[in-house]
Amino acid sequence: MKITSIALLAISHLLSLAQAIWLDTNNVTTIQMDCALIAEGLLSYYEGSKYGGTIGEFTWPYYWWEAGGAWGSLIDYTYFFENDTYVPLIKEAMLYQVGKDNNYIPLNQSTTEGNDDQGFWGIAAMGAAERNFSNPDSDKISWLGLAQAVFNTMTARWDHADCNGGLRWQIFQWNSGYDYKNSVSNGCLFHLAARLARYTGNDSYVEWAERVWDWMYGVGLLTEGDSWFVYDGVKIDNNCSNITKFQWSYNQGFMLAGCAYLYNYTEEEKWYNYTHHLLNSARVFFRNMNGSEVMFEAACQDYNSCNDDQRSFKAYFSRFLGLTSVLVPDTQPTIYKWLVDSANGAAGSCTGGLDGHTCGLSWTNWTVGWDGYYGLGEQMSALEVMQNLMSWHRPPPYTAETGGSSQPHPASGYGTAPSNTPPLDLDAGDKAGAGILTAVIGISLVGCCVWLLL
């Protein structure tokens, strides 16, 4: 979505003179004012408030999973700035998409939904519980119950048959990618289990987090030594021996913050050590700009090849860094510098579009400001990197003991068989369509990336 029209650029540059944002990372008022503008831009992609749009979904070409990412960002927005303006809108969206079994597998998505897609909505619900976000009415399932439902249905899909464990990327057999076990699906489960453990105090979730970690480590999706990297995934052929070694910032973030939650809850040294190892290796996602360390999506940004999905990864990575910094407090100095420098870079990129404060993809080119890219991912990433500067001004994520009011439903989500069996009687045409859709995603993922090696 690169704007190339010279005329449009000229107009937006004129407007930007009047309306560009200005950030002082020490001044909460400027952070709040900037984030309000950026959040407004984010919601311009929301479909639910447009004629004929579906509640909870964002406009084409943004997939359903990314909406789950965006609601997670906005839940934190309401919490960080103690601002209720968007609460009814977010709540309506989060509850409209729960699906008939309250587990975030709504019928409309069931032909294409993968474990990671479901995981993103589950993590948004977990965030709602931890931020004490306005509770659903008592006839509806709670935020915590939704997160538990996602956990329960994901663990039920744990696949012993191939490679001795792990989650496949896809939920449904007819989707391409069903033969792939990836870090984001397993990372979502690990991360969600860690957060459920800390929130509920139930050690069963710790056992699951350990199971996922050990499997990912055993198969080689996590590397150790000088570099603790998280690789993209692995095909099940040959007992999962051929790792696809792309590195994405959000995968590093899922594992990093998951370890931070586990350490905060269990106080076991190994999780402390893993947190620091993953944090040190997260340096590959920062570019040194005259002493400033600015976040970038290393596997695609330099090649101008980031797709719509990948352009939002810095959002979740920023969120997970913010959480890590409060849960393992001695990570704060490193993360503080990364977020401050990156927020400054992001603010510098938010000079585009007709509103004059549309955010760009690259935060590292300080001579151009806005780089011509725009979209839900760009907007969400800028919002998250800036709003996470508030992590240290607001209470840490709540638990059931410290102020969270969301009620547990430990057995939720099992309305239908939590297996790989299709819930719909699809005809051949529907199956083929879904297969092609994911195949195209698969090809663009592989086609546009390079290995990231130190």
Chain residues in the site for ligand NAG (CB under 6 A): 27, 29-30, 32, 36, 39-40, 54, 81, 83, 85, 96-97, 106, 108, 132, 163-164, 202, 204, 218-219, 239-240, 242, 244, 264, 267, 269-270, 273, 289-290, 326-329, 365-368, 396, 403, 405, 410
CB of 216 to ligand NAG, least distance (A): 9
* Distance (Å, whole) CA 152 – CA 410: 8
CB of 227 to ligand NAG, least distance (A): 16
Of all residues in the shown chain, the one whose CB is closest to ligand NAG is 403
Query: For residues 174 and 366, which CB has a smaller minimum distance to ligand NAG in the complex?
Result: 366
How far is the CA of 421 from the CAs of 8, 111, 152, 415, in angstroms?
50, 12, 16, 13
Tokens 């004929």 -> residue:
52
Residue 373: strand pairing partners: 2
User: SS3 of 58, please?
Assistant: strand
Least Cα distance to 184 among 248, 124, 277 occurs for 248
Query: For residues 32 and 223, which CB has a smaller minimum distance to ligand NAG in the complex?
Result: 32
CB of 171 to ligand NAG, least distance (A): 17
First to last CA, the chain: 30
Tokens 């897609």 -> residue:
117
Given the DSSP bridges, would you call strands 286-289 and 243-244 parallel, antiparallel or unpaired?
unpaired
CB of 77 to ligand NAG, least distance (A): 7
* Cβ–Cβ under 8 Å, residues 228 and 251: no
CB of 32 to ligand NAG, least distance (A): 5
Query: For residues 291 and 429, which CB has a smaller minimum distance to ligand NAG in the complex?
Result: 291
CB of 224 to ligand NAG, least distance (A): 11
* Distance (Å, whole) CA 233 – CA 114: 14
Query: For residues 39 and 146, which CB has a smaller minimum distance to ligand NAG in the complex?
Result: 39
Query: For residues 74 and 184, which CB has a smaller minimum distance to ligand NAG in the complex?
Result: 74
* Cβ–Cβ under 8 Å, residues 196 and 152: no
Query: For residues 54 and 59, which CB has a smaller minimum distance to ligand NAG in the complex?
Result: 54
Query: For residues 73 and 97, which CB has a smaller minimum distance to ligand NAG in the complex?
Result: 97
Count the neighbouring beta carbons within 10 Å of the beta carbon of residue 410: 15
Tokens 């005329």 -> residue:
7
Least Cα distance to 202 among 132, 147, 256, 123 occurs for 147
* Distance (Å, whole) CA 63 – CA 262: 30
CB of 425 to ligand NAG, least distance (A): 17
CB of 414 to ligand NAG, least distance (A): 11
Query: For residues 61 and 403, which CB has a smaller minimum distance to ligand NAG in the complex?
Result: 403
* Distance (Å, whole) CA 45 – CA 22: 23
CB of 262 to ligand NAG, least distance (A): 11
CB of 211 to ligand NAG, least distance (A): 12
* Cβ–Cβ under 8 Å, residues 126 and 133: no
* Cβ–Cβ under 8 Å, residues 340 and 332: no
Query: For residues 15 and 234, which CB has a smaller minimum distance to ligand NAG in the complex?
Result: 234
E strand spans, 276-416: 286-289, 292-295
* Distance (Å, whole) CA 269 – CA 104: 34
